[in-house]
């Protein structure tokens, strides 16, 4: 019927495959992004990735979360660590140690090619957005992977015994001493890229991956205008809790939530995101906290959130998207 025909110039709501934007950190978030990439057409999936972990090491620019997302989506990530490349070798790290460098940050031989290319492109004044686009294209990643900003932001950990750069604290010192605070150096001058803002504006679903709220999602949320964009979005905003039964599956999320938010639970995650969150996906083992999250005005989906294998990623991505689609944005639910 002519009057029902879609106008080619007006973006039409996509019933089967909503335009989806996922905010993402490293390993845990990348697993959900991988599941999403298998069920959404690539032009309907944008992943906005934390760059607060970026740093220089061995003279090279490293962007660990961006690379983790790219490698995971390309099916190339090391299945044991979640970061780096599968079946990579370590001849350069061995040679560095012989020369007296303690090589505390491990870069595999093939992974080094990525850092060499990124560093050369940065020195040629390409933006992180363009560099990520090139890497994604060359690795065969079809979804739109975007660094959160083109401005340099560096996560700094306050330990009570002084501040430490993120990777020094995280990798070299094994997350010790415990974090007493986190700040994002350079954040005052950092806006999301136009590409990231446009993707959020056009999104039909906005997801927050099960990544560390302070280390991975915090820097993205701290960008100029980002939380306001989430508050004003017409799309529902749904997070997947990185905390299952009071524990983080990987990394220091649980410890940091306990130390900085008073408890390591999906309820603490809900509180951190409560200014803009419409729904939270929690693990079935956390069913006892369902009502507590709901009473914050945040809808809850209980499901299995642990992603041990590829089918788990697909199942969680499918369930999360279906849940998000049931949530019309209704601010009146808020207490």
Residues contributing to the site for ligand FO1 (CB under 6 A): 25-27, 53, 64-65, 67-68, 83-84, 105-107, 111, 167, 170-171
Phi, psi of 265 (to 5 degrees): -155, 165
Instruction: Work out the number of other CB atoms within 10 angstroms of the CB of residue 203.
Output: 23
CB of 40 or CB of 207, closer to ligand FO1:
207
**β-strand partners of 62:** 55
What's the min distance (Å) between Cβ of 301 and ligand FO1?
25
CB of 65 or CB of 278, closer to ligand FO1:
65
Residue 123, classed as helix, strand or coil, is: helix
Residue whose CB is nearest to ligand FO1 in the complex, by number? 26
Question: What is the rounded radius of gyration, in angstroms, for the C-alpha atoms of the chain?
Answer: 20
What's the min distance (Å) between Cβ of 259 and ligand FO1?
18
What's the min distance (Å) between Cβ of 290 and ligand FO1?
29
Distance in angstroms (rounded) separating the CA atoms of residues 283 and 97: 43
Helices within 52-168 (DSSP H only)? 64-73, 91-98, 109-123, 128-139, 166-167
Instruction: Work out the number of other CB atoms within 10 angstroms of the CB of residue 161.
Output: 10
β-strand 154-158 against 181-185: which pairing, if any?
A: antiparallel
**Two tokens at 220?**
């993205």
DSSP 11: P
**Two tokens at 216?**
């991975």
CB of 171 or CB of 292, closer to ligand FO1:
171
CB of 17 or CB of 171, closer to ligand FO1:
171
> If you count DSSP H runs as helices and E runs as strands, how many of each does the chain have, helices first?
13, 14
What's the min distance (Å) between Cβ of 182 and ligand FO1?
13
What's the min distance (Å) between Cβ of 287 and ligand FO1?
29
What's the min distance (Å) between Cβ of 167 and ligand FO1?
6
Buried-exposed string 317-334: b where 16+ CB fall within 10 A, e elsewhere: bebbbebbeebeeeeeee
Distance in angstroms (rounded) separating the CA atoms of residues 34 and 261: 29
CB of 26 or CB of 192, closer to ligand FO1:
26
CB of 67 or CB of 286, closer to ligand FO1:
67
CB of 28 or CB of 236, closer to ligand FO1:
28
What's the min distance (Å) between Cβ of 153 and ligand FO1?
13
């Amino acid at each position: 019927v002519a009057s029902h025909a879609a106008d080619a110039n007006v973006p039409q709501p996509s019933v089967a495959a909503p335009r989806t934007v996922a905010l993402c950190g490293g390993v845990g978030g990348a697993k959900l992004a991988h599941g999403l990439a298998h069920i959404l057409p690539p032009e309907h999936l944008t992943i906005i990735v934390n760059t607060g972990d970026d740093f220089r090491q061995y003279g090279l620019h490293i962007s660990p979360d961006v690379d983790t997302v790219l490698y995971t989506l390309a099916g190339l990530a090391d299945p044991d660590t979640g970061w780096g490349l599968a079946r990579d070798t370590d001849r350069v790290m061995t040679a560095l140690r012989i020369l007296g460098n303690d090589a505390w940050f491990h870069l595999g031989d093939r992974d080094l090619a990525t850092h060499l290319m990124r560093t050369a492109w940065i020195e040629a004044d390409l933006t992180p957005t363009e560099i990520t686009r090139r890497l994604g294209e060359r690795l065969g990643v079809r979804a739109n992977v975007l660094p959160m900003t083109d401005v340099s932001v560096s996560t700094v950990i306050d330990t009570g015994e002084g501040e430490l750069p993120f990777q020094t604290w995280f990798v070299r010192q094994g997350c010790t001493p415990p974090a007493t605070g986190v700040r994002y150096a350079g954040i005052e001058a950092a806006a999301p890229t136009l590409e990231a803002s446009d993707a959020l504006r056009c999104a039909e679903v906005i997801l927050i991956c099960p990544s560390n709220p302070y280390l991975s999602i915090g820097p993205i949320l701290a960008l100029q205008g980002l939380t306001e964009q989430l508050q004003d979005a017409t799309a529902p905003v749904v997070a997947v809790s990185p905390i299952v039964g009071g524990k983080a599956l990987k990394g220091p999320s649980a410890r940091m939530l306990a130390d900085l938010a008073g408890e390591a639970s999906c309820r603490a995650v809900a509180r951190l995101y409560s200014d803009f969150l419409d729904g939270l996906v929690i693990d079935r083992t956390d069913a006892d906290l369902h009502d507590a999250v709901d009473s914050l005005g945040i809808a809850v989906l209980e499901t299995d959130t642990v992603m041990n294998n590829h089918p788990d990623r697909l199942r969680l991505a499918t369930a999360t998207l279906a849940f998000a689609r049931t949530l019309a944005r209704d601010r009146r639910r808020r207490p």
